[in-house]
């Protein structure tokens, strides 16, 4: 899974490992955090492998899949979680801010999914879960790049879901609201007044939804977006 060294990704990695899945813990730069996730999984009796790769690089999927397939076996579950923000109001947003966010949050998910589907279609079983955001569903001033990427991720989810459903491969998204991670550090507490639950979500609450979508029981759930936002978009 991508972006698994911290925050929501680390929680998903641990939740899937607890279900018995060996987990490729991809990260870009924080090797100590990725190593800690791997140790935590191994201490609980699971299998995991930390793999550094910048998923915004077009060559990343081949490198990542080669390592994971060699050390952990065929990839039947893919979670596209790696994400970055580069907020700016649209008139001031430069090309680099636009492209970095689109490449990491959207193009990388497409390339990873395209690579993963080869094995899943052949095996006639697979699970892809994309970590979107409520920012793709409602106006998010200052986040034209991020919101566009996340809305695109939902379109990608639905389209690919319809393409591969006959092969028992499901493709779904989760759309978190405000979740306590490094990404939301320093968030204006007044924003929580918009949330009916009046609190931030936890990475574990998002991970629980991903665990369900990956499960055998969720086999008829595909092309869905599971919102995890304390009622923010209700």
Q: Between residues 84 and 93, which has the closer beta carbon with respect to ligand NAP? A: 84
Residue 202 buriedness (CB in 10 A; 0-12 / 13-18 / 19+): middle
- Please indicate whether residue 146 is annotated as part of the active site: yes
DSSP helix/strand/coil, 174: strand
Range in contact with ligand NAP (rule: CB under 6 A) among 22-30, 112-120, 207-215, 219-227:
22-30
User: Which letter, b or e, does each residue of 157-189 get, where b requires 16 or more Cβ atoms within 10 Å of its Cβ?
Assistant: bbebbeebeeeebbbbbbbbbbbbbeebeeeee
Query: Does 152 help bind ligand NAP (rule: CB under 6 A)?
Result: no
- Alpha-carbon distance of 144 to 230, in angstroms, equals 23
**Residue 191 and residue 220 in contact, taking contact as beta carbons nearer than 8 Å:** no
Catalytic residue, candidates 21, 65, 146, 178: 146
Q: How many CB atoms lie within 10 A of CB 138?
A: 10
Q: Which of 1, 5, 113, 173 binds ligand NAP (CB under 6 A)?
A: 5
Identified binder of ligand NAP from the candidate list 24, 46, 61, 83, rule CB under 6 A: 83
Non-local (6+) Cβ contacts of 67 within 8 A are 24, 49, 51
- Tokens 């319809």 sit at which residue? 162
* Cα–Cα dist 175/171, whole Å: 14
Tokens for 93, please give them.
């947003």
Note the helical H segments in 165-202. none
The distance of closest approach from Cβ of residue 216 to ligand NAP in the complex, given in angstroms and rounded to an integer, is 25
CB of 4 to ligand NAP, least distance (A): 6
Assign 109 to helix, strand or coil: helix
Tell me: does residue 188 bind ligand NAP (CB under 6 A): no
Taking CB under 6 A as the binding criterion, the range among 1-9, 137-145, 160-168, 189-197 that sits at the site for ligand NAP is 1-9
**Minimal distance, residue 76 CB to ligand NAP, in Å:** 21
Question: Is residue 176 part of the contact set for ligand NAP (CB under 6 A)?
Answer: yes
Q: Does 81 bind ligand NAP (CB under 6 A)?
A: yes
Residue whose CB is less far from ligand NAP, 169 or 209 = 209
CB 152 within 8 A of CB 83: no
- Does position 32 bind ligand NAP by CB under 6 A? no
Q: Which two tokens stand for residue 95?
A: 């090309």
Q: 1, 50, 55, 68: which one contacts ligand NAP (CB under 6 A)?
A: 55
CB of 193 to ligand NAP, least distance (A): 16
Residues that bind ligand NAP (CB under 6 A): 2-9, 26-30, 33, 54-56, 81-84, 104, 131, 133, 176, 178-179, 181-184
């Amino acid at each position: 899974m991508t972006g698994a060294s911290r925050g929501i990704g680390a929680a998903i990695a641990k939740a899937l490992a607890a279900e018995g899945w060996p987990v490729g813990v991809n990260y870009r730069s924080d090797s100590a955090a990725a190593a800690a996730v791997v140790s935590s999984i191994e201490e609980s009796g699971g299998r995991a492998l930390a793999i550094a790769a910048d998923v915004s690089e077009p060559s990343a999927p081949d490198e990542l899949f080669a390592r994971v397939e060699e050390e952990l076996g065929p990839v039947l579950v893919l979670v596209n979680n790696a994400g970055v923000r580069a907020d700016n109001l649209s008139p001031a947003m430069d090309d680099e801010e636009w492209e970095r966010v689109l490449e990491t949050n959207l193009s990388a998910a497409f390339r990873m999914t395209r690579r993963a589907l080869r094995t899943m279609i052949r095996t006639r079983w697979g699970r892809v879960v994309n970590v979107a955001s409520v920012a793709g569903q409602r106006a998010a001033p200052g986040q034209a790049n991020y919101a566009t990427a996340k809305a695109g991720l939902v379109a990608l989810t639905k389209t690919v879901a319809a393409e591969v459903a006959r092969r028992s491969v499901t493709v779904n998204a989760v759309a978190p609201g405000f979740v306590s991670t490094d990404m939301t550090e320093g968030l204006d507490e007044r924003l929580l007044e918009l949330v009916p639950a009046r609190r931030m979500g936890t990475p574990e609450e998002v991970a629980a939804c991903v665990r369900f979508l990956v499960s055998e029981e969720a086999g008829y759930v595909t092309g869905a977006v599971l919102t995890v936002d304390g009622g923010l978009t209700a």
